[in-house]
Amino acid sequence: MRTYNYTFQNNLFKDEIDYAFFKRQKNILIQVFCGNDESTLQFIIDTLSRNLPHAICIGTTTDGEIKNTKVSTLKTIIAISTFENTTVKTSIKNHGDSFKNGYEIAQDIVTPNTKLIITFTDSTYTNGEKYLAGINSFNSSIMVAGGMAGDNGKFLRTFISSGTEIIDHGAVAISLNSDILQVQNDIKHGWSPIGIEHTIDRIEGNRIYEISGMRAIDFYKKYLGSGNLATFTEFPLMVERNGISIARATVTKYPDGSLGCAGGLYQGDKVKIGFADAERIINTPFEYLENIESKPAETFFIYSCMARRRYMQSLTRIEIEPFASVATTSGFFTYAEFFHADNKNELTNETITVVGLSENPDLNIQQAPSNNMVSSQDLAYSRSIQALTSLIQQSAKDQNEQAKALEKQIAYSEHLLKNQKLFLRHSVHETNTPLSVIVSNIDLHEMEYGKSTYLENIEVAVKNIFSIYDDLSYLVKKDQVEYKVYTIDLIDFVRNRVDFFESVAITMTNSKFLFKTNSKKILVDFSETKLQRIIDNSITNAIKYTFKGDPIKVDIIQNNECVKFIVTSHSRKIQNPEKIFDEYYREEHSKDGFGLGLNLVKRICEEENVLIDVKSNLEETSFSYSFKGCK
Beta bridge partners of 27: 83
Return the amino acid letter for 537.
Answer: N
Q: Which residues contact 196 (CB under 8 A, 6 or more apart)?
A: 272, 399, 403
Q: Which of the listed residues 255, 276, 297 is the one where a domain comes to its end? A: 276
Contact between 428 and 469 under an 8 Å Cβ cutoff? The reply is: yes
**Rounded Cα distance, 602 and 591, in Å:** 20
Predicted local distance difference test score (pLDDT) of residue 61: 98
Neighbours of 98 (CB within 10 A): 25
pLDDT tens, residue by residue, 219-259: 999 999 877 888 898 899 999 987 778 899 998 899 999 99
Domain span at residue 590?
Answer: 483-627
What average pLDDT does the structure give for the chain? 87
CB 319 within 8 A of CB 304: yes
pLDDT for position 416:
78
Confidence of residue 374 (pLDDT cuts 50, 70, 90): low
CB 62 within 8 A of CB 35: yes
* 400 in the same domain as 351: no
Which of 324, 321, 295 lies closest to 3 in space, CA to CA? 324
Distance between CA atoms of 48 and 486, rounded to whole angstroms?
86
Cβ contact 89:116 at 8 Å: no
Predicted local distance difference test score (pLDDT) of residue 529: 86
Residue 301 in contact with residue 244, Cβ under 8 Å? no
Residue 582 shares a structural domain with residue 487: yes
Q: Is residue 13 domain-shared with residue 152, that is, in the same domain?
A: yes
| Ranges 74-78, 404-408, 467-471, most confident | 74-78
Answer yes or no: do 364 and 263 share one domain: no
Distance between CA atoms of residues 172 and 124, nearest Å? 15
CA-CA distance, 320 to 336, in Å (whole number)? 18
- Write down which residue in 238, 256, 276 finishes a domain: 276
What CA–CA distance (Å, rounded) separates 612 from 566? Answer: 10
What strand order describes the sheet that includes 56-61? 12-13, 2-9, 76-83, 27-34, 56-61, 160-162, 165-167
Same domain, 346 and 238: no
Whether residue 77 is found in the same domain as residue 63: yes
Residue 127: closest CA among 171, 66, 78, 79: 171
CA distance 83 to 76: 23
What is the rounded CA–CA span in Å between residue 86 and residue 81?
11
Residue 367 pLDDT exceeds 60? no
DSSP structural state of residue 520: S
Q: Cβ distance 176 to 116 under 8 Å?
A: yes
Final residue before a domain boundary, out of 457, 481, 505: 481
pTM over 0.85: no
Q: Any idea what the CATH number is for the domain that residue 540 is in?
A: 3.30.565.10
The pLDDT tens digits for 138-179 are 999 999 999 999 999 999 999 999 999 999 999 999 999 999
Residues 113 and 178 in one domain: yes
Q: pLDDT tens digits for 291-313? A: 777 788 999 999 999 999 998 88
Pairing of strands 114-121, 143-148: parallel
Same domain, 308 and 398: no
Residues 271 and 298 in one domain: no
> In total, how many domains does the chain have?
4
Element holding 501 (H helix, E strand): helix 490-509
C-beta of residue 105 within 8 angstroms of C-beta of residue 98: no
Together in a domain, 455 and 516: no
Clarify whether residues 171 and 314 are in a common domain: yes
Could you tell me the pLDDT band of residue 475, with boundaries at 50, 70 and 90? low
Do residues 19 and 88 share a domain? yes
Other CB atoms within 10 Å distance of the CB of residue 593 = 16
